[in-house]
Chain A
Amino acid sequence: MRRAAALVAAALLAGGCGGEDASGGSGGKPRLVVSAAASLKQAFTAYGRSFPSADARFSFAGSDELAAQIERGVRPDVFAAANTKLPEELFEAGLVGRPTVFAGNRLVLAVPADGGEVRSLRDLRSPGTALAIGARAVPVGAYTRTVLERLPQAERAAILANVRSEEPDVAGIVGKLSQGAVDAGFVYVSDVRGAGGRLKAIELPAALQPDVAYGAAVVKGARHPAQARAFIEGLLSGDGRRALAAAGFEPPPPR
């Protein structure tokens, strides 16, 4: 009798955990789980609403955190990163399919729209200027370091001395900027557009601009590989392409 009760309880627990069936989406559409870079939030949310063949659910975070989740066994259907390095690494490790480069972006220096101390890259060197950048592992932080490495050593050191926070994703940088906690931050031009007038972009000289390319791949073991492929194809032409353009992304850079 006891054993039977234990079995019943175990079955109930198991049922509770696995209660979400494979096609748990609304209206009978399969649920497509997309792990995407934080900078893609607005573009992908808009695209997800019009995506016809699945009910797209998003997990937005730093691309490096999402890649680490996949390495630890998390299985979304699509992985979309703010660089091509992370999807390539996962592809080589056999965890995702061959990546597709689907968008480009530009790194800019963002400052509060209502003016402030910083008017150019040069102003970042002044003592007392507060700067937020991405942490080393997140793509926006890596691009930022590429830019800084192209500056003379003294200038780079002066700028790095003003860094007050290394944020885990672009959302953190934008948040610190719009709260006035920092005077400037390196983000993507699409983040400035997405901030709805709160931020202003200062363009970087072409010689400093890193090649920002976004890569996406179908995750191995995805529950809905066909819809995942359709989602990625839509990013190159169609609703996804339009949503990306509307959010300020550029076409994928020629390789």
Chain B
Amino acid sequence: MRSRGWFAGLLVAALAAALCFLTLPVLAIFVDTAPRDLVSSLGDEGTLEALGLSLKCTVVAVALIVVVGTPAAYGLATRSFRGRAALITLVELPLVLPPAVAGIGLLAALGPRGVLGGLVEDAGLQLVLSTAGVIVALTFVAAPFYLRQAQASFEALDRTWLDASRTLGASEARTFLRIAIPSAGPGLAAGLALAWGRALGEFGATLMFAGSFRGITQTAPLAIYERFSTDFTGALALSAVLVAVSAALLLSVKLLSGSAWLGGAAR
């Protein structure tokens, strides 16, 4: 009993320390400035421009990720082949890459002097320092979040449903569209929200690959960094918006994946 009391105390202390450490910076964003100042600096044209650009770029990136990532994840989940584990690891690698490494990698691959730079140019595409480049950077860093979640959701499906659909004469494409996607829907949506959250917060790869220019490549995180030195209140206001949006995305992940987010017991 004595030792159990001691350990329980340690758990409570560790949990309290973790909670304080992790929530304090987020709360401070809202405490440091009067709500009125936060709202008024949101009316600033540049702030709205940055938020609008972030919205536009993340929506396009997430759409690309879902359109290509869903069949890719289905393939990974339903096929077994040599090197599958290695392939999955490669696809997931950007998940743990430092953003600066992602930025350098994108430049080395798709930059004007990159491996495929000539091809990109011949195709008439302008990626570096352009909005398209922001979308490329966001897609690169966020895609693994969706792929991973989508693959897990497809793997969790009851194979007998898919087999039944095939036995009843549906093609595999039809089975994928009509059975697999709807059944895995909540998991896919959770993956989408995770990828969206990551794309929304992207900073390093965007700055290195796409640069920073108002209305073209300066997304909300880049605008926060620019404002840090001249307009701390404006930086806080933008941060507050990103906290709210990110929290909403996280909440939707929790709700979609069916876990109770408040007062739930461990399962």
| Nearest neighbor of A181 in chain B, beta-carbon distance | B128
Which candidate, A36-44, A92-100, A160-168, A205-213, is the interface stretch facing chain B?
A160-168
CB of B9 within 8 A of CB of A137, answer no
**7 cross-chain CB contacts under 8 A:** A2-B12, A68-B228, A137-B229, A138-B229, A165-B213, A168-B212, A172-B211
Lowest 5 A-B CB distances belong to which pairs?
Answer: A165-B211, A2-B9, A5-B9, A64-B229, A9-B13
A132→B7 CA distance, assembly (Å): 58
Task: Indicate whether B14 reaches chain A with its CB closer than 8 angstroms.
Answer: yes
A176→B128 CA distance, assembly (Å): 9
CB of A64 within 8 A of CB of B111, answer no
| Secondary structure type dominating chain A contacts | mixed
Task: Indicate whether A1 reaches chain B with its CB closer than 8 angstroms.
Answer: yes
Return B110 CB to nearest CB of chain A, in Å. 11
Given A1-B2, A165-B129, A172-B207: A179 and B112 interface contact (C-beta under 8 Å) = yes
CB of A135 within 8 A of CB of B129, answer no
Please report which residues of chain A, range 103-124, place their CB below 8 angstroms from some CB of chain B when the two chains form the complex: none
| Nearest neighbor of B127 in chain A, beta-carbon distance | A181
Please report which residues of chain B, range 40-88, place their CB below 8 angstroms from some CB of chain A when the two chains form the complex: none
Residue A67 contacts which of B111, B128, B226, B229 (CB distance < 8 angstroms)? B229
CB of A179 within 8 A of CB of B107, answer yes
CB of B13 within 8 A of CB of A5, answer yes
| Secondary structure type dominating chain B contacts | helix
Return B111 CB to nearest CB of chain A, in Å. 5
Chain A interface bracket (under 10, 10 to 19, 20 to 34, 35 or more): 35 or more
Return A75 CB to nearest CB of chain B, in Å. 17
Task: Indicate whether A175 reaches chain B with its CB closer than 8 angstroms.
Answer: yes
Please report which residues of chain A, range 127-162, place their CB below 8 angstroms from some CB of chain B when the two chains form the complex: 130, 132, 135-138
A181→B129 CA distance, assembly (Å): 7
Return A208 CB to nearest CB of chain B, in Å. 24
List, in ascending order, chain B residues with CB within 8 A of A62's CB. 229
Task: Indicate whether B10 reaches chain A with its CB closer than 8 angstroms.
Answer: yes
Given A167-B211, A180-B113, A181-B112: A9 and B10 interface contact (C-beta under 8 Å) = yes
| Nearest neighbor of A3 in chain B, beta-carbon distance | B9
CB of B6 within 8 A of CB of A167, answer no
Task: Indicate whether A182 reaches chain B with its CB closer than 8 angstroms.
Answer: yes
CB of B9 within 8 A of CB of A181, answer no
CB of B129 within 8 A of CB of A180, answer no
| Nearest neighbor of B7 in chain A, beta-carbon distance | A5
CB of B207 within 8 A of CB of A5, answer no
Return B206 CB to nearest CB of chain A, in Å. 11
Chain B interface bracket (under 10, 10 to 19, 20 to 34, 35 or more): 20 to 34
Contact surface of B with A, Cβ cutoff 8 Å? 2, 5-10, 12-14, 16-17, 107, 111-113, 117, 128-129, 207-208, 211-214, 216-218, 225-226, 228-230, 232
A163→B117 CA distance, assembly (Å): 21
CB of A65 within 8 A of CB of B229, answer yes
A106→B166 CA distance, assembly (Å): 73
Return B219 CB to nearest CB of chain A, in Å. 13
List, in ascending order, chain B residues with CB within 8 A of A6's CB. 9-10, 12-13, 16
Return A61 CB to nearest CB of chain B, in Å. 10
List, in ascending order, chain B residues with CB within 8 A of A10's CB. 13, 17
List, in ascending order, chain B residues with CB within 8 A of A176's CB. 128-129, 211
List, in ascending order, chain A residues with CB within 8 A of B111's CB. 179-181
Residue B129 contacts which of A67, A130, A136 (CB distance < 8 angstroms)? A130
List, in ascending order, chain A residues with CB within 8 A of B6's CB. 1-2, 5
Given A1-B6, A176-B129, A180-B112: A9 and B14 interface contact (C-beta under 8 Å) = yes
Given A5-B13, A181-B111: A165 and B229 interface contact (C-beta under 8 Å) = no
List, in ascending order, chain A residues with CB within 8 A of B107's CB. 179, 181
A181→B128 CA distance, assembly (Å): 6
Task: Indicate whether A195 reaches chain B with its CB closer than 8 angstroms.
Answer: no
CB of B14 within 8 A of CB of A166, answer no
**Beta-carbon contacts of A174-189 to B below 8 Å, as 1s and 0s?**
0110011110000000
List, in ascending order, chain A residues with CB within 8 A of B5's CB. 1-2
